[in-house]
Chains A and B, each alone.
Chain A
Amino acid sequence: MSTKASVREQPGSIQIRPAQASDLGDIIALDAEVTGLEKTDYWYELFHRYGASHTRQRVFLVAESGAVLEGFIIGEVRDWEFGSPPCGWVFGIAVRPDSRQHGLGTRLLEAICEGFRHAGVNKVRTLTAREDSLVLSFFRSQGMMAAPVIALEKDLAEPRT
Chain B
Amino acid sequence: MKLQKSTRLALCSVLEIAGNPERALSASEIAQKYGVSMHHLSKVLRELGRAEIVESARGVGGGYRFIGNAKRLTLMDVIGLFEAIGGGGRDVPDGATEVERALATVLSEIDENARATFRSVTLDTMLKLIQFQLRMDNKSAAMEPSR
Binding site for B on A (CB under 8 A): 130-131, 133, 136-137, 140-141, 143, 146
Chain B residue with minimal CB distance to A139?
A: B120
Q: Are B112 and A130 in contact (CB under 8 A)?
A: yes
CA distance A84 to B38 in the complex (A): 49
CA distance A37 to B120 in the complex (A): 24
Q: Are A130 and B116 in contact (CB under 8 A)?
A: yes
Interface window among B10-18, B84-92, B122-130: B122-130
Q: Does B146 contact A (CB under 8 A)?
A: no
Q: Which of B113, B117, B120 has the most CB of A within 10 A?
A: B120
Chain B residue with minimal CB distance to A137?
A: B120
Chain B facing A: main interface SS:
helix
**B126 vs chain A, min Cβ distance (A):** 9
> What would be 27 A-B contacts, judged by CB atoms less than 8 Å apart?
A130-B112, A130-B116, A131-B116, A133-B116, A133-B119, A133-B120, A136-B116, A136-B119, A136-B120, A137-B74, A137-B120, A137-B121, A137-B122, A137-B125, A140-B120, A140-B121, A140-B122, A140-B125, A141-B71, A141-B122, A141-B124, A141-B125, A141-B128, A143-B128, A143-B129, A143-B132, A146-B117
**A94 vs chain B, min Cβ distance (A):** 18
Chain A residue with minimal CB distance to B113?
A: A130
Contacts of B125 in A (CB 8 A): 137, 140-141
CA distance A73 to B116 in the complex (A): 23
Chain A residue with minimal CB distance to B72?
A: A137
Q: Which of A130, A131, A140 has the most CB of B within 10 A?
A: A140
Chain A residue with minimal CB distance to B122?
A: A137
In the complex, the 4 A-B pairs of residues with the closest C-beta atoms, listed nearest first: A136-B120, A130-B116, A141-B125, A137-B120
**A21 vs chain B, min Cβ distance (A):** 35
**B135 vs chain A, min Cβ distance (A):** 12
Contacts of B71 in A (CB 8 A): 141
CA distance A136 to B120 in the complex (A): 6
**B22 vs chain A, min Cβ distance (A):** 22
Interface residues of B in 88-147 (CB under 8 A from A): 112-113, 116-117, 119-122, 124-125, 128-129, 132
**B121 vs chain A, min Cβ distance (A):** 5
Contacts of B128 in A (CB 8 A): 141, 143
Contacts of B116 in A (CB 8 A): 130-131, 133, 136
**B123 vs chain A, min Cβ distance (A):** 11
Chain A residue with minimal CB distance to B76?
A: A133
Contacts of A137 in B (CB 8 A): 74, 119-122, 125
CA distance A143 to B122 in the complex (A): 12
**B63 vs chain A, min Cβ distance (A):** 28
